[in-house]
């Protein structure tokens, strides 16, 4: 089965908020704030729309809308850091969370390169909350609620490979409208939510200094050394003990020997 | 005179009492109203003072393994008298850290999950296991002190038989544990401020804990000597201070050369809070104590030794707080200052720790390890013979 993904095209988004509302409905999240442009990601909000005021090289001003949601990374940092494996990357594409495993250490929140996971701070038994790519719908072959609701085809759902082809086609047809890159092909090892934009991605609030490779590598390089540290360290300490003890004994024997000679 | 000391005692007792009452109140708030109500943590700042305190507690416990390895593995017997205080410090430090880790968990009732649900790629998983294993080892290392008080010789014999493998395991676990706190932040290259973020974070954490842990022992020895009106073994402590000096210099060289090689030196010249905090940390924790300790006559002055240990410890605390809080503030976009509950629970644990330490020191044989001949009983006659024959 091909992994599912979302493609968001900022050149098409009107900022209407249909995805935001559909997501709230789908996940039965409370609507404390009704304005998708003013709301922030929270335990009750898995996606928001951000308005970016951009001035291009010709001093043309424009407003660009983008979405924020979990990127469903291909090698997710949140999955790699969770001590109990409460985060899981499914073959289907979505990154899911299992509250029954979670101990609430919040390392996933600290480590996520997109700062996506949110916490139920008010609860005494809090859960981590984030977009789950409408797993219940996707596993039954339906698109995500946000993609279905989008009237402008700015958010579309499909196989990741196919979405990449669609993105390339859009860029080829209207090269003047697009910044010539797809965000999410390589960033932090690749994501299952892809972005197209009329301007460079750092202007849309994407951190420009994310590594291109998978983030978990940063830790794994060190974690891999543990067995070596343990075995080499163990042998070293063991032999040091034996050596120093032996040295003492020899010293003592020599002392005694010297004594006897006397 | 008497009135004076009486007043002093009750004064500190009163302070401790207030701290404990506040702490218990805060603890209630934490467990019955949740983390949101009791802390200033938020989605942007998911870790705060408590994680910083965990780093500090574990770091200051480092003498537990450094002294154990020096005495038992490298056979440097002259440090024998401080093995026990070092292990006791480590033990109490770890107990406090375990308590605070559990309080900090969003779902404390699930604290045991890492025992059965494994993710070996997670640094947090490694940390959990190191805490558990090293606490067990510290229990084994400290048990003889308790057992000898009750004249239980049989279990002491068993413990003595396995003592060397236990010490070795303890060293390995704490090495991993000390460094893994640094590894925690390897995964946030974009978030931790460049003055602190480096691939060498685990190495830096490891080296810095050695100086801090040993300074903690100097500090305690001084306090203890004063409290029980005994002379401070100045020879021994100044030898310790020499190790502290080397560890500080080593840590400094590694950090600065790493910064030069990876081209992060220019960050030092940007005038912003992070830079001041960084310079403060280096000044207090490294430069000043190095100046104090490099001078032999200073190193042999009780008071200056004591003072330098306070500097090293403060600089160490600053460093860990900088990594845990200051270095992340800019990227999170929110400034964080711990809440009343966060502070009072932390202070309460510190009071408990000090209390436990002084109680154990009072009732058990910690500082005068005159029972060491028990440990050495096999060699003791021999060595006496040597001395006699000389
Ligand atoms: S964006 Fe963050 S939360 Fe979502 S999969 Fe990636 S690492 Fe996990
Ligand atoms: S908060 Fe829960 S899901 Fe996140 S890393 Fe910790 S245990 Fe895993
Ligand atoms: S995929 Fe589903 S959960 Fe995620 S933002 Fe869209 S509607 Fe919300």
| pLDDT tens profile A82-123 | 999 999 999 999 999 999 999 999 999 999 999 999 999 999
Strand partners of residue A48: A68
Phi, psi (deg, nearest 5) at residue B45: -130, 75
Contact A46, A69 (CB under 8 A): yes
pLDDT of residue A91: 92
Residue B115 to residue B263: CA distance in whole angstroms: 41
Total residues belonging to chain B: 390
The better pLDDT of the pair B322, A216 is held by B322
pLDDT band of residue A247 (cuts 50, 70, 90) is confident
Angle between helices A216-223 and B163-183 (to 10 degrees): 160
Q: What mean pLDDT is predicted for residues A185-198?
A: 92
DSSP letter for each residue of B88-105: HHHHHHHHHHHHHHHHHS
Instruction: Judge if the beta carbon of residue A78 lies within 6 A of ligand 1.
Output: yes
pLDDT number for residue B372: 42
| CATH number reported for the structural domain that contains residue B318 in this entry | 1.20.1630.10
Which amino acid residue places its CA nearest to atom 1 of ligand 3?
Answer: A133
Distance between CA atoms of residues B336 and B328, nearest Å: 10
Position A58 scores a pLDDT of: 74
Residues of chain B with pLDDT under 70: 1-8, 229, 231, 368-390
Neighbours of B135 (CB within 10 A): 16
Domain boundaries, chain A: 4-214, 226-261
Residues A195 and A10 sit within 8 Å (Cβ to Cβ): yes
**pLDDT number for residue B390:** 29
pLDDT of amino acid A238: 86
3-state secondary structure of B32: helix
Q: How close is the nearest chain A Cα to the Cα of B21, in Å? A: 22
A128 lines ligand 2 (CB under 6 A): yes
Complex confidence, ipTM? 0.86
Query: A160: closest CA among A50, A3, A39?
Result: A3
Cα–Cα distance measured from residue B96 to residue A129, given in angstroms and rounded to the nearest whole number: 30
B358-374 in b/e form (b: 16+ CB < 10 A) is eebbeeebbbebeebee
Mean pLDDT of chain A: 89
| pLDDT greater than 70 at residue A242 | yes
Q: Quote the tokens at residue A145.
A: 């609620």
H/E segment holding residue A173:
helix A160-173
Question: Which residues of chain B have a CB within 8 Å of the CB of A201?
Answer: none
Q: Please, are residues A193 and A160 in contact by the beta-carbon 8 Å criterion?
A: no
Is the pLDDT at A20 greater than 50, yes or no? yes
Closest residue of chain A to B203, computed from CA coordinates: A222
**CB B124 within 8 Å of CB B184:** yes
Q: Which of A3, A5, A72, A118 to mutate to test the pocket of ligand 1 (most atoms within 8 A of CB)?
A: A72
How large a percentage of chain A has pLDDT more than 90? 60
User: What CA–CA distances, in Å, run from A1 to A96, A112, A136, B59, B330?
Assistant: 18, 27, 16, 49, 42
In a domain, B26, yes or no: no
Q: Under an 8 A CB cutoff, do A109 and B46 touch?
A: yes
For position B8, what pLDDT does the model report?
65
A144-155: average pLDDT: 93
Exposure string (b/e) for A58-74, b if CB count within 10 Å is 16 or more? eeeeeebbbbbbbbbbb
Q: Does B28 touch chain A (CB under 8 A)?
A: no
pLDDT, residue B79, reads 86
Sequence-distant (6+) residues with CB within 8 A of A170 are A9, A178, A196
Predicted confidence (pLDDT) per residue in A55-89, tens digit: 877 777 888 999 999 999 999 999 999 999 999 99
Q: Which two tokens stand for residue B55?
A: 């780093």
- What spacing in Å lies between the alpha carbon of A99 and ligand 3's midpoint? 18
Tell me which residue range forms the domain holding B104. 41-336
Q: A38 with A100: CB under 8 angstroms? A: no
| Cβ-contact A109, B48 below 8 angstroms | no
What is the end-to-end Cα distance of chain B in Å, rounded? 50
Q: What is the reported pLDDT for B371?
A: 42
CB < 8 Å to A121, chain B:
34-36, 41-43
Is the Cβ of B383 closer than 8 Å to some Cβ of chain A?
yes
Q: Is residue B288 part of a domain?
A: yes
- The C-alpha angle with vertex A159 and arms to A157 and A161, in degrees rounded to 5, equals 125
So what's the pLDDT on residue B7? Answer: 62
pLDDT at B5: 59
| Ligand 3 close to Cβ of residue A144 (< 6 A) | yes
Q: Pick from B175, B195, B181, B173: which is nearest to B53 by CA?
A: B181
CA of A112 to the centre of ligand 1 (A): 5
Ligand 1 center from residue A73 Cα (angstroms): 6
The dihedrals phi and psi of B276, each to the nearest 5 degrees, come to: -60, -45
Q: Cβ neighbours of residue B45 under 8 Å, at least 6 residues apart?
A: B328, B332, B334, B336
pLDDT of amino acid B370: 45
Q: Topology of domain A4-214, per CATH?
A: Alpha-Beta Plaits (3.30.70)
Please state the domain count of chain B: 1
B337: exposed, middle or buried (Cβ count in 10 Å: 0-12, 13-18, 19+): exposed
Task: Identify the pLDDT of residue B13.
Answer: 87
Angle between helices B153-161 and B123-149 (to 10 degrees): 140
pTM above 0.90, yes or no: no
- Nearest ligand 2 atom to alpha carbon A78: 5
Count CB pairs under 8 A between chains A and B.
Answer: 167
Range from A129-143, A217-231, B87-101, B106-120 carrying the lowest mean pLDDT:
A217-231
- At residue B26, the pLDDT reads 96
- Least confidently predicted of A47-51, A197-201, B2-6, B362-366: B2-6
Cα distance between residue B321 and residue A14, in whole Å: 44
- Let me know: does B302 contact B222? Beta carbons within 8 Å: yes
Question: Ligand 2: does its nearest atom lie under 6 Å from the Cβ of A82?
Answer: yes
B384 touches chain A (CB under 8 A): no
Determine the pLDDT at residue A75.
92
Q: Is A131 in the pocket of ligand 3 (CB under 6 A)?
A: yes
Q: Is B36 on the interface with A (CB under 8 A)?
A: yes
Residue A73 backbone phi and psi in degrees, to 5? -50, 150
Q: Compute the distance between CA of residue B160 and CA of residue A43 in angstroms, rounded to an integer.
A: 53
Q: Tell me if B34 and A121 make a contact (CB, 8 A cut-off).
A: yes
Find all residues with CB under 8 Å of A72, minimum gap 6, and list them: A5, A6, A89, A93, A94, A95, A131, A133, A191, A192, A193
User: Any CB–CB contact under 8 A between B378 and chain A?
Assistant: no
pLDDT score for B254? 95
**Distance of alpha carbon B380 from its chain centroid, rounded?**
33
């Amino acid at each position: 089965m091909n992994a599912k993904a979302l493609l968001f095209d900022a050149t098409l988004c009107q900022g209407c908020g249909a995805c935001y509302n559909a997501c709230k409905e789908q996940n039965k999240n409370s609507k404390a704030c009704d304005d998708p442009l003013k709301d922030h990601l929270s335990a009750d909000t898995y996606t928001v729309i951000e308005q970016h005021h951009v001035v291009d090289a010709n001093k043309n001003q424009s407003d660009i809308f983008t979405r924020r949601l979990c990127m469903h990374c291909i090698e997710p940092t949140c999955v790699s850091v969770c001590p109990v494996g409460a985060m899981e990357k499914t073959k289907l594409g979505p990154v899911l969370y299992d509250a029954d495993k979670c101990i609430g250490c919040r390392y996933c929140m600290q480590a996520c390169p997109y700062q996506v996971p949110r916490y139920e701070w008010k609860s005494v038994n809090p859960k981590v909350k984030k977009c789950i790519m409408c797993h219940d719908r996707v596993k039954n072959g339906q698109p995500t609620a946000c993609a279905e609701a989008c009237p402008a085809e700015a958010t579309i759902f499909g196989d990741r490979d196919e979405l990449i082809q669609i993105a390339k086609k859009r860029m080829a047809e209207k090269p003047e409208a697009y910044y010539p890159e797809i965000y999410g092909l390589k960033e932090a090892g690749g994501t299952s939510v892809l972005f197209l934009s009329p301007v460079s991605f750092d202007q849309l609030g994407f951190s420009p200094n994310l590594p291109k490779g998978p983030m978990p590598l940063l830790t794994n390089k060190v974690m891999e050394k543990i067995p070596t540290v343990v075995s080499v360290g163990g042998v070293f300490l063991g032999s040091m003990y034996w050596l120093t003890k032996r040295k003492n004994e020899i010293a003592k024997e020599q002392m005694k020997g010297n004594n006897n000679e006397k | 005179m008497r009135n004076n000391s009486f007043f002093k005692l009750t004064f500190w007792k009163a302070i401790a009492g207030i701290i404990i009452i506040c702490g218990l109140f805060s603890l209630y708030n934490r467990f019955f109203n949740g983390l949101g109500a009791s802390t200033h943590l938020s989605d942007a700042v998911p870790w705060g003072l408590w994680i910083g305190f965990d780093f500090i507690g574990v770091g200051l416990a480092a003498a537990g393994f450094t002294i154990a390895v020096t005495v038992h593995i490298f056979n440097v017997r002259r440090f024998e008298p401080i093995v026990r205080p070092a292990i006791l410090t480590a033990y109490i430090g770890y107990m406090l850290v375990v308590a605070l880790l559990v309080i900090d968990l969003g779902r404390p009732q699930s604290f045991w999950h890492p025992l059965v649900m494994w993710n070996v790629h997670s640094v947090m998983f490694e940390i959990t296991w190191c805490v558990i294993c090293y606490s067990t080892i510290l229990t084994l290392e400290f048990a003889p002190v308790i057992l000898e008080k009750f004249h239980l010789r049989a279990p002491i014999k068993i413990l003595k038989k396995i003592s060397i493998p236990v010490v070795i395991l303890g060293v390995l676990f704490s090495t991993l544990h000390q460094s893994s706190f640094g590894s925690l932040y390897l995964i946030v290259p974009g978030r931790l401020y460049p003055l602190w973020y480096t691939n060498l974070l685990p190495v830096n954490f490891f080296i810095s804990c050695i100086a801090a842990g040993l300074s903690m022992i100097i500090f305690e020895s001084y306090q203890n000597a004063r409290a029980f009106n005994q002379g401070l073994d100045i020879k021994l402590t100044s030898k310790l201070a020499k190790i502290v000096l080397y560890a500080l210099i080593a840590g400094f060289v590694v950090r600065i050369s790493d910064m030069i090689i990876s081209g992060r030196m220019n960050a030092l010249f940007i005038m912003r809070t992070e830079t001041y905090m960084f310079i403060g940390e280096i000044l207090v924790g490294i430069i000043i104590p190095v100046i104090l300790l490099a001078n032999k006559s200073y190193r042999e002055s009780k008071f200056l030794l004591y003072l330098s240990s306070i500097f090293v410890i403060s600089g160490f605390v600053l460093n860990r707080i900088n990594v845990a809080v200051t270095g992340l503030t800019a990227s999170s976009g929110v400034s964080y200052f711990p809440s009343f509950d966060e502070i009072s629970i932390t202070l309460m644990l510190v009071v408990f720790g000090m209390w436990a330490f002084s109680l154990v020191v009072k009732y058990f044989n910690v500082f005068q390890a005159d029972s060491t001949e028990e440990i050495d009983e096999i060699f003791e006659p021999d060595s006496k013979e040597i001395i006699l024959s000389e």
